[in-house]
């Protein structure tokens, strides 16, 4: 538990906070696009039900073609939303990679600092022994 607390203290929160608005902006854009696509799809579906695309279908085949066209448009919207989600995930993964690299550097620095403190402690003990004998 103490390790995680110390690890969280070593995270460069300034960099994380600095990058957060970009992630937030991308997430809001993704949600906005998704909401607009859902609203547009709902509107198109309602319009298609009330007014057919090419007029009143004369048979079941024409009706099926209209439904297929509507479904193709919805699939295209979903693919666009999926691409936007993938871009957002890529940005988040890049930021997480930067955090991991920074934590690794901080861990290396902490190890070096611990070694330096140990050597300094040994030197102080040696000096105290020297002064006590002398």
pLDDT in tens, 63-115: 889 999 999 999 999 999 888 888 888 888 888 888 888 888 898 999 999 99
| pLDDT surpasses 90 at 134 | no
Distant-in-sequence contacts of 32-40, Cβ < 8 A, 24+ apart: 33/80, 33/81, 33/84, 34/81, 34/84, 37/77, 37/78, 37/80, 37/81, 40/77
Pairwise CA distance, residues 116 & 111, whole Å: 9
Q: Are 96 and 3 in contact (CB under 8 A)?
A: no
Q: What is the pLDDT of residue 93?
A: 81
Whose tokens are 């969280």? That residue is: 8
Q: Angle at CA 88, nearest 5°, toward 87 and 89?
A: 90
Q: Who has greater pLDDT, 5 or 54?
A: 5
Mean pLDDT of 11-18: 68
Q: What is the pLDDT of residue 50?
A: 46
Q: What is the pLDDT of residue 113?
A: 95
| pLDDT surpasses 70 at 7 | no
Q: Who has greater pLDDT, 46 or 122?
A: 122
Q: What is the pLDDT of residue 68?
A: 93
Question: Per residue in 29-75, pLDDT tens?
Answer: 766 776 666 666 666 655 554 444 455 778 888 888 999 999 999 99
């Amino acid at each position: 538990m103490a390790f995680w607390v110390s690890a969280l203290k070593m995270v460069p929160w300034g960099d994380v906070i600095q990058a957060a608005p970009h992630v937030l902006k991308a997430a809001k854009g993704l949600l906005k696009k998704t909401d607009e696509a859902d609203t547009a799809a709902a509107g198109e579906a309602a319009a298609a039900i009330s007014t057919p695309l090419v007029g009143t279908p004369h048979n079941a085949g024409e009706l099926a073609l209209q439904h297929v066209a509507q479904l193709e448009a919805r699939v295209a919207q979903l693919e666009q939303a999926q691409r936007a989600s993938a871009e957002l995930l890529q940005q988040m993964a890049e930021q997480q990679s930067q955090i991991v690299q920074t934590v690794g550097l901080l861990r290396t620095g902490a190890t070096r600092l611990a070694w330096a403190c140990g050597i300094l402690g040994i030197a102080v003990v040696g000096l105290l022994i020297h002064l006590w004998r002398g």
